[in-house]
Structures are given as structure tokens and as C-alpha cells.
Structure 1
Amino acid sequence: MSSDVSSDVKQSNAAATAAFDSLPPWEQRFRAARVGLPEWAEDAPERSLFVSNATGTYEVYAWNRADGAQRRVTDRPHGTTEATLTPDGEWIWWFDDTDGDEFGVWRRQPFAGPAPSAGAERDEEAVPGLAPSYPAGLALGRRGEAVVGRSTDEEGSTLHLVRPGLAPLEIYRHRESAGVGDLSHDGALIAVDHTEHGDAMHSALRVLRINPAGDGVDVVAELDDATGREEALGLSCLGFAPLPGDARMLVAHQRRGRWEPLIWDTATGAEQEIVLDLPGDVTAEWYPDASALLIEHTYRARSELHRYDLASGELTALPTLPGTVSGASARPDGTVEFLWSSSEQPPVVRSTTGEVVLAAPGPQAPPSVAVEDVWVDGPGGPVHALVQRPADAPAGPLPCVFEIHGGPTWHDSDAFAAGPAAWVDHGYAVVRVNYRGSTGYGRAWTDALRHRVGLIELEDIGAVREWAVSSGLADPERIILSGGSWGGYLTLLGLGTQPDAWALGLAAVPVADYVTAYHDEMEALKAMDRTLVGGTPEEVPARYAASSPLTYAADLKAPVYISAGVNDPRCPIRQIENYVTELEKLGKRFEIYRYDAGHGSLEVEERVKQLRLELDFVARHLPR
């Protein structure tokens, strides 16, 4: 399973470069090699992991910074992205599922390469005796211990303490969603993010300590901003202090209507809120010596970095270009590495020294066009949209693609995206809407979609559509509604509830039949749906019916293209087939493409194929 990331590309470099150069820019953006932000071992910072698509499939790579050596750690037909290092850098843990279904086990191999006894085809199970599950967090300790989070339909959420030579010990179980927050530096404390109060959008925190007998755990601290409140607030563990014997935890909270950091001393209960004069959401992580916090500030679809000195309270801006930081990490020498991109410029791993830390091998992705910010008055307040226009666009109204993000608790940002850039290349304006339910605009905006799920988001999308037409940007007869995951769900729901607004629909891995989707999806998503909709389909059937695309199938006027992963645990295939069967009965115009993967694909070739199929569908169906 071992291979050098550079040799993967160099074997046929000249021929590959020539072939790459002959491709249209939109396809080059998909096929260009990329690297993710490296993760490094806490006690061996020269040892790192990163994800790359250098071979055409997203896989995990090990990088020894001491000598520059890189090798491919995983090699699976459907790709691998979830992996981490033990603190000493000796072992790599990675999650092994089946064909993208997200249900599987953790495996491990030595950082230096698979041991001969492990075999070339499959690494050893990291935790023998734990049955396959959906992952719910993982924390690795310095004495060989680990805390493994699991989720299954039968058991709900469970956490297990794993110690060398001992059987896994179950230390937590609950029907509601929960996960591993962190393990303290000395392995004495375990943080649990949980939603026992029944609100999957707002977690509470619990700290456990292994009891003296070693056969169980004791609860030593609780922090809960949700239970018993008229308006639940969320908390999230950002990590214990990286020092031996230090019981402080960095926590994200929502007490002032947005995400901000605080330091919670889990031994004394003392809290230190970090109040910064920054608009928007603020999150943080520790510097390795715990003297400062690395602040990531997100505001109006862009982000930047700061250093906050804990002793002086001084906030210092770190050098980043306008755009989006998709991850950052402070190194032991005080420098910060971060993954940056903009809608115009492709992603690159940079350092605050100004250097490129890790470059992707082979030809690079061509740039796209910058986004314009648009604010539209919506029924729930101002709606922020990001607009891209072709560089040589004519003055008149353009064909337009409304590319709707997933989540729903996510947001579109000024970041590089090959899909929207492809539509721009083909002469379309692209509009991305951060509707109610999106993150980055305050807690009230994110929480606003409850009970009228889907319908509220579409009100905001509809308001931006009206602006696009009235401003002269969009040709009203040639507006496409498109999206993946929750965006695919909103596409199908929008085609049924706003049938005169959209000329075509492109729905990737969507929710199509909400009731069946609920019963078939992974347990953690059931909990989220109960929170969003207000109960199960049996408890609030009218709400599920009102929010289900299947309810409005008869009202569809526009042709729709659907793509679906047959192993998808998030938007399972059966509920999509129910929707397709209904469209067939009604004589609606549609096409469906099924592919062998889960919730999207980690194969570059498959991603290119899917975009090409969408382009072809639009070319055949959109009015000229």
C-alpha cells in the first residue's frame, strides 16, 4: 500500500502534462492535483499526513518533513480521506468503510510503512473486537490509549476506551447523537460532545475521568447551554490545553448570538470568555505551548487569521490574502500553516512565513473569476449571495445557475470551487445563496429553518432569484436550480413548490422522499431531522409531508437530472428510487444517473463524468 506521491505523477509526467494541457479549463480544474492541509504529530512535528488526489483518487499520504519523503498510505478504489496520527507519530490510523458507505472500522499502519506481517492489501484493525459502525470521533493518547466514538442504528452513540492489552471498555452510551471531543495531554480526561437533551443542533459537554479501579469512568465536569433554556445554545470542544496535567479546555460557545471561544477549567469550573472586537463567527485552537490562541475569524463568506496572546490579551492579525482559510494549524516554532483559496485562485497550503508549505505535483488548476457580493432583502432579513459572471459576458440577461450549498448548516464562501467555475466557463452566471440555515451569519440565522424545513430556505433563494431577474443578470426563461446533498434536496423541493421559477433542475445525492430518507439514513442524521422538523415522521407527519419533494412531484414542470450514490448513508438510494418511480408514473421529464459510491465520489474521473453529464443535460433541455 506504500507509494511516493511524487512518483505517482512522475512516471509519465511529460505525456500527462501534454494530455492535461489539451483539456478545457473546466476539466483541468477537476483533474489538477491538490493537497490538503497537513496534520502533524503533536510530539513528532516532522511527521505529517495529508490528503491528495495525485493518483486520480483522494487518498492519504505520509510526509516525513525531516528528509522530505512522501508515500501513499492508502490505496482503495473509492478513496480515503479520514486519517490521523498518534501523538508520537509512530502510527497512522485511517477509517476503512465499504465503497463510500461510511460504515466500517479503524485500521492502522506504522508511519514508516506497513509491517510485513500486516500484508500489502489490508492493514491491521486498530481496535479488534469493536464491530463496524459509523465514526463518531477519535482521540489518540500518548500511552497507546485511544477513545473511539461509534454510532449505529441499533446502539445509538457509544464511546469506548481502548488500552494496550485490554479489551475495549464502553464508557458512554446514549440514543441521541454524541461523539469524542478530545483526550487530555496526559490521557486522564475525556471530553464528550453530546445532545442528550434532544437538540442535535446544540451540543453540551461532559468530561470523564477513568476511575481508580480502571473499570469505568466518573463524570467530573459538565457544561450545558442547551438544557432547560427557552433558546438552546451550542457548545463545542475545541481541545484540551496541550500541556501535561492541564485540565483547561478550549470551547466554542454561542452566548452572544455567534460562535466565540472561551477557556473552561474543567477542574475548578472557572470560565474565561475570549471577547474580541471582530464581527462574525470566531473559532480558535491552542498554540502548541498554550501561550496563545490561533483565531480563525469568518465574516461575510470570507475568513482570516489572528494570534491572541493569553497573557497580554493582544490580538495580532496574521498575513492572509482576501478569500477563505479552509483550515489552519500553529506549529511549534510559532509559524502557522493554512489552506487558502479564493473563488478566483486555486487552493494552496501556505505559511505565515510567506512560503508555500506543500505544493501539489503536476500541472496546476487554472484560475476562475472573482465573486461579487450581493445583499437582497428577504422575508427573514438580508440574504447574502455570491455571484460570478463570465469574463466576456454580454450586456443582456444571461443563462444562470443557482448553485445551492449543502448542509444545511454550512455556507458558501469566497473559495475555489471547480463546479461553479465550469458553469462560468460555459457562459452561465452562477449565484450561490447563503439562505437561512447557513452558518456564518449568527445563531439566529442558522436556527431559523426549524419546522418549515426547506420552505424557509427556498423563500430566501426565491428572493435572490427575483433580484437576479430584476437586476438584468438572469434570463428568467433560463434559470437552473442546482445543488448537492441538502442543496439537491432544495433543488427537488424548489422545482415542486416554485414550478414556474426554474427552467431545469440538477439534483445530486438529494433527499427526495423525506419520510423514507429519515427511516433509512444514519442514526446521527435521524437526530438532526428530529431537531429540524420537530419529531419523527410518525409524530409530525404533516411537517414531513410539507417539506418532502415527493409531495410536490405532480407539480413539476421543469426537466430534472438526478445523480445518486448507491451506497449513500446520508441520502439513501431507496428514497430517491421512490421519487423516480413517482415521476415515471406522472410522466415527468427526468434522467437519473446512479454510481457506485456513497455521498459523492472521491474519484476525479467520476466527478468529471458527473459534471459532463450535467452539462450535456442542460445543453439538450435548456431553451436557447
Structure 2
Amino acid sequence: MTESNGLRQTQGEQVPDWEKRFRAPRVSLPDWAEDAPDRSLFVSNATGTYELYAWDRSSGEQRQVTDRPNGTTDGVLAPDGDWIWWFDDKDGDEFGVWRRQPFAGGPDEEAVPGLDPSYPAGLALGRDGRTAVIGRSTDEDGTTIHLARGDGGAPAEIYRHRESAGVGDLSHDGSLIAIEHTEHGDAMHSALRVLRPDGSTVAELDDTRGGEEELGLEVLGFAPVDGDTRLLIGHQRRGRWEPLVWDVATGEQTDLALELPGDVSAEWYPDGSGLLIVHGFEARSELFRYDFAERGLTEIDTPAGTVSGATARPDGSVEYLWSSAAEPSAVRSTTGRVVLDPPGLKSPRSVPVEDVWVEGPGGRIHALVQKPAGAAGPLPTVFDIHGGPTWHDSDSFAAGPAAWVDHGYAVVRVNYRGSTGYGRAWTDALKHRVGLIELEDIAAVREWAVASGLADPERLILTGGSWGGYLTLLGIGTQPEAWTLGIAAVPVADYVTAYHDEMEGLKALDRTLLGGTPEEVPERFEASSPLTYVDEVKAPVYISAGVNDPRCPIRQVENYVERLEARGAVHEVYRYDAGHGSLVVDERIKQVRLELDFASRNLPKP
């Protein structure tokens, strides 16, 4: 076996398309410095590991900023363009400190001496690249927010609370700090507070109402104009995410009342004259410009598919990261050009996605289906369940599902209750009967897949990562007759132990979802834990887990595996030295190859 340009070759064999999709260099949407727009920061897997890169647009020079065995993706470019801040954790455990490096290169330095390691809870940088508002989360302190002046003095604590919170933004002149907090105890619905640099409060906005009707708010950013006290925020007052402008000095709220059916996010145009609108609806997205003077929307032409990020440049053009299920991602511009086109291997296409709507116990369920071109059912079918849980599958390029399709499987992805993008009521339905609600929706789509002739009922695989891995283990235990195999990546397997071992922010989310701690509502944790049903599992099960994972910690996975072993159940476990997934391309390919091999060996032949 030889390695050549990062491509695996065996005795001259051509690298299969599924593997090329993982190996092909890809890039994120470049972030750019507000006061030096020719300086940008992006993430790429060009070396085989996802790392941060600096890009000087004026010269065309690109430079790798970070180089760590397990990769780096958390980085922020300062407004002046002189500094790159990046988060340094240990082997993917997400617990560490911020470091910084000059844009032109040079040694890294600890960005804020005096702050102990923590989980990150947001970062906002001042225009000088050294002043910073840093959010921290630890089991001991809850959330703390600190102001560092960059003058060598000790950072000042300006906020502290046991519940989760995070840094939203720092105003253009540095005089205002917006934070999101959940002091009311509901980690799914944040309230907003605006502070002065000394920690005193300027303004509050809270849409939480208690009970089942709490509404959330989010910080989208201060106006990019010196002295402007307008803050762009997201709200849920009409049952979906929409933007409004809140003047934190006067209290005036300008509701844009956009007549769009889906969730809407926004960011400022650089001169503050308008907003770049991203509208997501039924697993696809589109772009608009909102002009404050005209008080109207103008559509920005983009291909059908998903825009996973967009930014307006000082010249008025818009750059956006686009893909579809069939077409690999690319950073495009409204000028008509591809902004970043990494050299080397190009990713092969995949097959388009088909939309399916299925009536379920909580309303219509949207599912996305891919199958091999020209294939007729019934097919071996993979139900690939997304994580989150507050996330959704979309018409976007994904190498994992494409690999299953290449091997002859149909792939079904379900946007179950709890998923985003279908209104607040759909997302907020996920409470108290956690896991069981999602599985009701997955079961309804499974019924459709079998009845329609798509899926072979004797060859059904339930799989997913993170929350999708959790639903996989819970599903094969609570629906043992429905699934032929279970393949779970970085899952919650023992909910009680997971709660006690996970990072503090996720404890807050679990308390919200289940209505308390394991000691306060033990019956809910028991009903929602895969470990409760492990003795009912009939399907062979494959589990992969990162030994440094702070989100789905390894101890609770081992508890589940021990119970499988005690029963003599058919199972395989793969443990790897990283956190919640891997940023190393070879490692990710290894994991997919192991999953495909497990399915090939354990799935009944037609």
C-alpha cells in the first residue's frame, strides 16, 4: 500500500468515489476583517486535517495558521486584521484557552493570561485586535464573562451565573456588550442583556413567559457603524425565527415583519444601510437584501440547494457557501465567480435528494431520500438520523450519505420533531418524552418507506452520530423488531451517567429537555435512556466513540457496552483518540469504512 498526495492507493487501484468525497480539499466561507477586508480567515482540510488558514486577498497568499494532530476549527479574525485568535483544547475535549497569532505569521501566544482553561462560551474582539470579551463555562463556576483590555492587566469579570450564557457581540466602538443568557432556567430559549464594559446593565430584552410558551431571542450583531446603538436580533414571536432591530439606547424595536414562511437569519451590510437575509424553508435556503430606506426585500439569485453561510462585502457583493445533495460545496459570489477553489482532487458528485412528506403523530414529517441512480426497490435502506437535536438535514452535500448510496443503499433522513426549520412548535415539541418523540416520527417514515416499496423491511439500518447515535441505540432497544442493524457514532448510551459526566452547557440543556436532573425526574431519564432497553436489543450493533468526548463521554458508552457483553449480544466497538468526532480525514474515512464493512458482514443477503 502506498500513499500519494493524500490518496489511498492499493496495487494501483483507483480510489473509490466515496473516499474521494472525503479527501477532496474543501473550504469554509471565509471570514474577513471589518477594517481590513482584504484579510480573511477560513478552514480547510487541504493537509488531511481541518485547520485554520489566513488569506491575503490583495496578494493571493494563503498561509496555514494552525497545525495540531486533531485539527482546529475555532478561530476568529480581529476587526483590524492584525490578529487571529484560535481555541486550543486538548485532543478534542473542547476544554482549553484562547491563543492568538499575528496575521502575517509568527509565534502563538496565550491571548488572555490569567484565565484558567474552560469550555468556550463566545468571543467578541475589539477593533484593536487585543481588547476582547471572553465567555467561559466550567462545572464549578457556571458561565462567566470577562473583559480583557489587551494592556497586560488582569481580565475583569463582568458577568457570572450558574445557568448557561454566552457572548453575543461587542459594539463597533466597544462601549456595549450583548450577551445571551438563560438565567430563567430554560436552556432552549435565551434572553438578552446589554452591558457596559464595567458590567453594569444598559438594557434587557426577555421573551420568556414560563410554562410551555417560552420564546427565544438571539444576538445577530451590532450595527457596523461607530456610535450606532442598534442591535440586530432574532426572535420567535410569530412561531419562527425572524430578525428585528433593537435600539438598546432608546428601547425602540423595529420589527421587519418579513413575509417569508420559513426561519430567517440576517447580518448587516457593511455600511449599515441594509441586511443580508438568509431564508431557510423545507430543507433549502435562499438569499435576499433588505433595504432600510425602501423597507423591502430584493431576492439575490442563488441555485436551488442550501446556503450554509453568507456575508456581504464592502463593495456590495455577497459571498456564500452553497451546495446541494448532488453538487459539492463551493464558495461563490454574486459577481459570478468562485471565491475559493482549492487545488487538487475534485469531489465527485452524488445523486439528488427527493422530498417525502409523511403524516405522523405530531403532524407532517419531512424526510429526504437518496437512492442509487436507476435503482428499483425494495432496497437495503439506511435511516441516517441527524444530531443536535435542534438541527435539521437539508438539501446539501454530505459525504457520509453519499457513501451509502455508492454501495447500493437507499438513504432516508428524517427531520423529526425537535428539528429546526419547521417552526418553533415543531422544535419545542421535544420535551419530557425525549428520544421517544423523535422515534415515533422515524417509525412513521419507516412505515412509509416499506409500504412504498423503497425499503426492504429485512434490511433496515438505523444509524446516526451524536444525538442521532443516541436515537439509534434508543431505537434498537424500544423498536427491536423494526431494525436489522444499529450503527451509532459518539452516542448517548446511558443518559444518567452522560448527564453527570458531560460539559455544563449540555447539563443545562438536558435539564430543560427532561424537566430537571436525574435526581429530580428519575423516571424521565430512565424512560429516555438507551441503557434501560439494552436487554431488548436484537440487532447487531456497532458503536464508535471518542475517548476525549465531553458531549457524549466515554464512561457512559462503556456502561452500555458492558451490558451488551454480559448478554453475549452481537456488537463491535471502535474507540479513537479524539473528542466528539474527528477533524482528521484519514480517521473519518476509517470510521466510514468500518461502518460499511459492519453492514456488509451483518446485513442479510437479498
TM over 0.5: yes
The reply to whether residue 264 of structure 1 matches residue 249 of structure 2 is no
Per the alignment, residue 485 of structure 1 pairs with: 466
Kindly tell me: are residues 454 and 229 of structure 1, through their superposed partners in 2, closer, same or farther at Cα, counting changes over 3 Å?
Answer: closer
2:90 and 2:234 map into 1 onto residues whose CA distance is 34
Residue type at the aligned position of 1:192: I
CA distance in 1, matches of 2:126, 2:365: 44
Distance 1:228 1:18 in 2: 61
User: Aligned partner of 1:109: which letter?
Assistant: Q
CA contact (8 A) 1:38 1:48 kept: yes
In 1: Cα distance, 2:351 partner to 2:209 partner: 46
| Residue 566 of structure 2, aligned match among 585, 591, 594 | 585
- Which secondary structure state, in structure 1, belongs to the residue aligned with residue 471 of structure 2? helix
CA-to-partner distance for each residue in 1:9-45, whole Å, 9 max, x for gaps? xx97699999999201000101111011000001000
> TM-score, normalization: structure 2?
0.98
Matched residue type, 1:152: T
Q: CA RMSD in A?
A: 1.5
CA distance in 2, matches of 1:74, 1:229: 46
- Corresponding position: 1:277 with 2:277: no
1:129 to 111, 114, 122: 114
Which residue of 2 is the match for residue 202 of structure 1? 189
Structure 2 CA distance for aligned equivalents of residues 17 and 594 of structure 1? 25
CA shift at 1:84, angstroms? 0.8
Shift of 1:217: 2.0
Deviations along 1:91-146, whole A, 9 cap, x unmatched? 000000000000000000100101xxx3xxxx110000100000000000024310
Residue in structure 2 matched with residue 139 of structure 1 by the alignment: 124
User: What is the match of residue 33 of structure 2?
Assistant: 41
63, 66, 71: which one aligns with 1:71? 63
For 1:262 and 1:361, the matched residues in 2 are separated by 41
Per the normalisation by structure 1, the TM-score is 0.95
Q: Which of 305, 315, 318 is equivalent to 1:323?
A: 305
> Structure 1 pair 50/444, CA: closer, same or farther in 2 (3 Å)?
same
Q: Does 1:163 align with 2:149?
A: yes
Separation (CA, whole Å) in 2 of partners of 1:566 and 1:594: 6
- Aligned partner letter, 2:166: G
Secondary structure, in 3 states, of the residue corresponding to 1:329?
A: strand
Corresponding residue for 1:305? Answer: 287
> Counterpart of 2:414?
433
Deviations 1:45-64 (A, max 9, x none): 00000000000000000000
Distance 2:5 2:362 in 1: 53
CA contact (8 A) 1:17 1:363 kept: no
Structure 2 counterpart of 1:361: 343
Match of residue 289, structure 1, among 271, 283, 286: 271
Aligned in 2, Cα 1:20/1:159: closer, same or farther, shift over 3 Å? farther
Provide the rounded CA distance (Å) in 2 between the counterparts of 1:218 and 1:140.
19
* Structure 1 position 104 matched with structure 2 position 91: no
Pairwise CA distance, 1:230: 5.3
Q: Distance in 1 between matches of 2:495 and 2:212?
A: 28
**Which residue of the partner structure matches residue 235 of structure 1?**
217
Residue 456 of structure 1: which of 398, 414, 437 is its match? 437
> How far apart, in 1, do the equivalents of 2:7 and 2:549 lie?
36
Q: Give SS of 1:217's match.
A: coil
Specify the code of the residue in structure 2 equivalent to 1:413. S
Q: CA deviation at 1:275?
A: 1.1
Give distance in 2, aligned partners of 1:169 and 1:136. 16
| Preserved contact between residue 7 and residue 23 of structure 2 (Cα < 8 Å) | no
Name the SS of the counterpart of 2:19 in structure 1. helix
Matches within 5 A, 1:347-358: 347-358=329-340
Which residue number corresponds to residue 188 of structure 1? Answer: 175
Quote the residue 2:453 is aligned against: 472
Deviation by residue 1:243-271 (Cα, 9 ceiling, x = unmatched) = 00011000000000000000000001000
Cα distance per residue 1:513-557 (max 9 Å; x no partner): 000000000000000000000000000000000000000000000
Q: Judge which range, 494-503 or 579-588, deviates more.
A: 579-588
Letter in 2 for 1:175: R
1:414 is the counterpart of 2:401: no
Q: How far has the Cα of 1:179 moved from its partner?
A: 0.4
**Is 1:522 the equivalent of 2:503?**
yes
Q: How many angstroms does 1:588 deviate by?
A: 1.1
Contact 1:181 1:190 in 2 (8 A): yes
Q: In the alignment, which of 384, 404, 416 is matched to residue 403 of structure 1?
A: 384
- Correspondence list, 1:605-620, <5 A: 605-620=586-601
Structure 1 segments, 4+ long, off by >4 Å, are 11-21, 227-230
Report the CA distance between 1:389 and its aligned residue: 0.9
The whole-number CA distance in structure 2 between the counterparts of 1:597 and 1:452 is 31
The question of whether the paired residues in 2 share the 8 Å contact of 1:148 and 1:180 is answered with: yes
Aligned 8 A contact 2:8 2:15 in 1: no
Q: What percent identity do the matched residue pairs reach? A: 75
The separation in 2 between residues aligned to 1:514 and 1:574, in whole angstroms, is 11
SS at match of 2:359: strand
Equivalent in the alignment of 1:213: none
Partners in 1 of 2:531 and 2:49 — Cα distance? Answer: 34
Report the Cα distance in structure 1 between the residues aligned to 2:9 and 2:508, rounded to whole angstroms.
48
Q: Is the 8 A contact 2:87 2:99 kept in 1?
A: yes
1:277 is displaced (CA, Å) by 1.5
> Is structure 2 residue 140 aligned with structure 1 residue 154?
yes
Which 5+ residue runs of structure 2 have no aligned equivalent? none
Structure 2 CA distance for aligned equivalents of residues 584 and 607 of structure 1: 26
> Counterparts of 2:167 and 2:46 in 1: how far apart (Å)?
31
Structure 1 counterpart of 2:323, one-letter code: S
- Residue 279 of structure 1 contacts residue 299 of structure 1 at CA under 8 Å; is this kept in 2? yes
1-structure distance, mates of 2:469, 2:584:
20
Are 1:333 and 2:315 counterparts? yes
State the AA in 2 paired with 1:177: S
SS of residue in 2 equivalent to 1:150 = strand
Q: Distance in 1 between matches of 2:57 and 2:310?
A: 18
Hey, what's the Cα distance between the residues in 1 that align with 2:127 and 2:603?
59
1:281-324 deviation line (CA, Å, top 9, x unaligned)? 01100000010000000000000100010111121111110000
Give how far 1:218 is off: 1.0
CA contact (8 A) 1:58 1:603 kept: yes
* Distance across 2 between alignment mates of 1:355 and 1:299: 26
How far off its partner does 1:449 sit? 1.2
Q: Please identify, of 16-25 and 483-492, the stretch whose mean Cα deviation from structure 2 is larger.
A: 16-25
Number of aligned residues: 601
Contact residue 6 and residue 23 of structure 2 kept, 8 A:
no
Inter-partner Cα distance in structure 2 for 1:499 and 1:379:
20
CA contact (8 A) 1:140 1:183 kept: yes
Counterparts in 2 of 1:352 and 1:18: CA distance versus 1, 3 Å: farther
**Against the structure 1 CA distance between its residues 589 and 64, is the aligned structure 2 distance closer, same or farther, given a 3 Å change threshold?**
same
Equivalent pair of 1:197/1:227 in contact (CA under 8 Å): no
Q: Distance in 1 between matches of 2:187 and 2:8?
A: 47
> Among residues 89, 112, 116, which one is paired with 2:81 in the alignment?
89
Change (3 A) 1:459 1:228: closer
Q: Equivalents in 2 of 1:531, 1:37: separation in Å?
A: 33
The CA distance in 1 between the partners of 2:365 and 2:409, in whole Å, is 22
